[in-house]
Amino acid sequence: MKYRVSVIGTGFVGLVTAVCFADRNIKTICSTKNEKNAELINKGIPPFFENRLEDLLKKAIETGNLVCTTNREEAVLNSEISLIIVGTPFNHIDKTINLDYMEQAAKDIGTVLKEKNGYHLTAVRSTVVPGTSRNIVGRNLAEKSGKKLGEEIGLVMQPEFLAEGRSIEDTFRPDRIIIGEFDERSGDVLQKLYEDFYGNHIGEDCPILRMNIESAELVKYGNNCFLATKISFINELAKIAELVPGVDIDLVARSIGLDYRINPRFLGAGVGWGGSCFPKDVNAIIAFAGDKGLESQLLQSVVDVNDRAALHALELTKELIGDLKEKTIALLGLAFKPGTDDMRYAPSRRIAIEAINQGAKIQGYDPRTKESAKIAFHQDGTEITLKDSVEEVLKNADCAIVCTEWDEFKTLKPKTFIQHMNNPCVVDGRRIYDTTEYSKELNYKVVGYTTE
Ligand code: UGA
């Protein structure tokens, strides 16, 4: 028997997961409380941008493998497995995660399970600190359903590792599947779902690792914290490289990455990491440890080094144009990374806030974020003029800072900056230009390299 799946929550991870299941002929029903989003999804229109999502969503709706409902009860009743993929927002004040949506989802599923016959498995897919799945989700499922966990109902925690912009590929070709199980049967049911879903992909290239629930919860934090640490590490090394003229951090990083124990990914020096995951997760696990009396010295430094990486772009700017007062800075790229319109914790925001504090005016251009950027900068209380093209954003600017490595910027030649800026100065915050060519033709500074 093929399991039917309900997906509670249609944010970025929820919808991508639902669409990928449907693409592999698994009957999937997703639920959201947002009526407008449900309507869009049922018409095959994604409510946000993600590479390849539109085509797959259209297909999933046309084949009837995917439907979206605003009624959670209907979703749970029409499935054997429910995946909870709701938001776990970040409390800005105490840096912990807010589990209200998670708790509500568990209560809602538990209430439905009271009346539902047959075995039902609930899987936590959102990122939650160790103990949450058992103590909040498991407890509410059991209390509301009146059923015993590990008997009529099951519970697993399965962390997700999707990155924005490549989430469809990540879902279809994962490196591993982590199953944190309340009991053996729960793990068996989820494993069967993935054996149907992935077929031959499961094996040496993608092992299934089974463990207790809390270990699986910590795997996700370990993963994101390690990646954030790699980036902060290379950003620290980039500053050391800048102390020695002629040393190029890109070559150094590539060479370090060739060590099979390290690997070259996530060693890209620049203005630092942002997005909806690393900032939230690194801070949440620091707060989690702190709450239990353990000070996380390394991870706190990872956060501090990251903040410095964004501000470093302004130090380089000042080396080129002096004091920022009354100067106009052009930000090339605003999103936290290319391929998305996501502005959450984007380094461009940190840079803009600080530049304005120092008296600068900011204008910005991003090929995709105009709407989300407007909202983000408004939330920060940052006044920024959003432009519609590279040419426009460079006009009248005293210095341009590359904050996001969009392809559109990678192909720019020094002459574009020379043509459109008064006194062309460029800070390459994402290492996208040829340092020799740019240093020769422009006033140019780049993270991790100083000219001899
Ligand atoms: C990240 C993880 O990569 C995913 O595995 C994880 O599932 C996801 O968080 C999550 O927890 O949901 P994401 O935040 O979408 O994915 O984006 P990444 O590609 O990891 O980039 C994060 C940030 O690191 C970006 O701001 C990017 O510019 C920066 N970065 C990345 C660097 O500064 N240097 C690098 O070499 C790589």
pTM of the model: 0.96
The Cα–Cα gap between 363 and 331 comes to 6
Distance 144 CA to ligand 1 centre (A): 37
Residues 152-200 pLDDT 10s: 999 999 999 999 989 999 999 999 999 999 999 999 999 999 999 999 8
Euclidean distance between the first and final Cα of the chain, in Å? 68
The Cα–Cα gap between 337 and 266 comes to 13
Q: Residue count of the chain, please give it.
A: 452
Q: Are residues 78 and 48 in the same domain?
A: yes
Q: Are residues 177 and 228 in the same domain?
A: no
Q: Are residues 18 and 155 in the same domain?
A: yes
pLDDT at 1: 78
The Cα–Cα gap between 318 and 158 comes to 46
In a domain, 143, yes or no: yes
Q: Are residues 314 and 360 in the same domain?
A: yes
Q: Are residues 184 and 260 in the same domain?
A: no
Contact 72, 113 (CB under 8 A): no
pLDDT of residue 94 exceeding 90: no
Distance of CA 57 to the CA centre of its chain: 21
In a domain, 452, yes or no: no
In a domain, 451, yes or no: no
Q: Percent of the chain beyond pLDDT 90?
A: 93
- Mean residue pLDDT of the chain comes to 96
Q: Are residues 41 and 105 in the same domain?
A: yes
Rounded to 5°, angle at Cα 309 from 306 and 312: 155
pLDDT of residue 51 exceeding 90: no
pLDDT at 93: 79
Query: Which residues are identified as catalytic?
Result: 277
Domain containing residue 38: CATH number: 3.40.50.720
Residue 267 in tokens: 């060693």
Q: Are residues 229 and 198 in the same domain?
A: no
pLDDT of residue 288 exceeding 80: yes
332, 337, 348: residue to mutate for ligand 1 pocket, most atoms within 8 A of CB: 337
* Domain termination residue (choose one: 139, 172, 206): 206
Give the torsion through C-alpha atoms of 108, 109, 110, 111, to 10 deg.
50
The Cα–Cα gap between 216 and 178 comes to 6
HSE of 23 in the Cβ direction (CA atoms, 13 Å)?
19
CA distances from 308 to 35, 207, 285, 314, 322 (A): 41, 38, 21, 10, 19
Q: Are residues 9 and 104 in the same domain?
A: yes
List the strands of the sheet with 328-332, edge to edge. Answer: 384-386, 361-365, 328-332, 399-402, 425-428, 443-446
* Domain termination residue (choose one: 181, 206, 231): 206
pLDDT at 92: 77
Q: Are residues 196 and 231 in the same domain?
A: no
What is the 8-class DSSP label of residue 98? Answer: P
Q: How many domains does the chain have?
A: 2
The Cα–Cα gap between 57 and 389 comes to 30
Nearest CA to ligand 1 atom 18: 163
Which residues constitute the domain of residue 80?
A: 5-206
Instruction: From the CA of 342, give the closest atom in ligand 1.
Output: 15
Ligand 1 neighbour 162 (Cβ under 6 A): yes
Q: How confident is the model at residue 148 (pLDDT cuts 50, 70, 90)?
A: very high
In a domain, 43, yes or no: yes
pLDDT of residue 435 exceeding 80: yes
Q: How confident is the model at residue 377 (pLDDT cuts 50, 70, 90)?
A: very high
Contact 190, 81 (CB under 8 A): yes
Contact 193, 3 (CB under 8 A): yes
In a domain, 214, yes or no: no
Give the torsion through C-alpha atoms of 301, 302, 306, 309, to 10 deg.
70
Ligand 1 neighbour 224 (Cβ under 6 A): yes
In a domain, 218, yes or no: no
Going by C-beta distance under 8 Å and a sequence separation of 6 or more, which residues neighbour residue 79?
A: 3, 4, 5, 6, 27, 29, 120
* Domain termination residue (choose one: 179, 206, 233): 206
Q: Are residues 25 and 65 in the same domain?
A: yes
In a domain, 202, yes or no: yes
In a domain, 215, yes or no: no
Q: Are residues 181 and 251 in the same domain?
A: no
Give the torsion through C-alpha atoms of 440, 444, 449, 451, to 10 deg.
40
pLDDT of residue 145 exceeding 90: yes
Q: Are residues 166 and 273 in the same domain?
A: no
